[in-house]
Copies of this chain bind each other. A is one copy, B any other.
Amino acid sequence: VNNTGLHIKRLCLIGVGLIGGSLVRALRRADAVDEIVGCGRSRASLETARELGVIDHIEPDPAKAVAGADVVVIAVPLGAMQNIFTAIAPALAADTLLTDVGSAKASVVAAAKKAFGELPAGFVPGHPIAGTEKSGVQASFAELFEGRRVILTPTAQSSASAIAHTRALWQACGAEVVEMDISHHDEVLAATSHLPHMLAYSLVDMLARREDSQEIFDYAAGGFRDFSRIASSDPTMWHDITLANREALASLLEQFSMDLQKLAAAAREGDSDYLRNIFTRAKQARDRYEIKDTR
């Protein structure tokens, strides 16, 4: 009973971390859910989630956890998706809504196909464009998705009602929901999220490997702090994302690597026009983006 018309009796959350925890906190706040079953590998983390009131019950076995749930949300790292799909496939009721929050979508859909054979009509892959460099249920909060975009990438088998319900679920969390083709999603995210993370990780690693790394970090100024913040993100999660979206990401890394070589050559040759063009175009694009994003 709430303004979106969504009402979930029993939600099964598999993977109770920052994203999953924030999602169920937001759904509770919207009075959109009665009961939440939490499932995950770490008993301690599930206990914490229950103590925080993020989940009501603990069920470590995925097949048992999905029993009787009208909605199942998978919020585990991408590398764990295959095992979860395989575990729940025999137990999932036909009318259950099934969605996930993975940052790459083609690999998730491939994992589901492997587990289910034919994809269930109730399966609607999703990806909330939100997060922080923190992780774990302790970092979760109900406002995480407010005003953020959630991209749904329905499969050819997703039913219209399952898509509508998944949409309502995220709207209840304050998110703006859009739909995108699976491979296009992976391309766009490689450019806007996965590539920047690779650059931040690689830069910090390159500096950390230097003999004078202590001094280097001593003199890193404010710009560096902002630039490198995302290098604090969870290494396992990003390992999984990198492998899950490897084709799109590797192409962009190679393209960017070439751009840097051209920039190095332009600097050495004193090619003022080349440098000015890049810096000016980038500033204009970044300033337009900032205006839009903070509207």
**A positions within 8 Å CB-CB of B:** 129-133, 148-149, 151, 188-189, 191-193, 195-210, 212-213, 215-236, 238-239, 242-243, 246-247, 249-251, 253-261, 263-265, 267-268, 270, 272, 275-276, 278-290, 292-293
Contact = CB atoms under 8 A, between A and B. Distances in A.
A96 B165 CA distance: 75
Given A132-B222, A229-B223, A232-B290, A285 B193 contact: no
A203 B252 CA distance: 10
Contacts of A205: 259, 278, 281-282, 285
A-B pairs with lowest CB-CB distance, top 5: A235-B279, A208-B285, A253-B264, A204-B282, A257-B260
B253 A263 contact: yes
A231 B280 CA distance: 9
A192 B293 CA distance: 27
Contacts of A281: 205, 208-209
A136 to B, nearest CB: 14
Contact of A239 (B251, B261, B276): B276
A192 B208 contact: no
A201 B151 contact: no
Contacts of A189: 219
7 contacts: A188-B216, A192-B220, A196-B203, A202-B256, A205-B281, A206-B256, A256-B260
B216 A226 contact: no
B275 A232 contact: no
Given A219-B149, A232-B283, A279-B235, A259 B202 contact: yes
Nearest to A255: B206
A221 B243 contact: no
A186 to B, nearest CB: 12
Given A216-B192, A257-B261, A208 B279 contact: no
Contacts of A207: 191-192, 285
Contact of A282 (B132, B216, B231, B276): B231
B223 A226 contact: no
Nearest to A270: B243
B285 A202 contact: no
Given A202-B259, A275-B242, A275-B243, A230 B231 contact: no
Nearest to A250: B264
A285 to B, nearest CB: 4
Contacts of A149: 218-219
A148 to B, nearest CB: 8
B263 A204 contact: no
B230 A227 contact: yes
A147 to B, nearest CB: 11
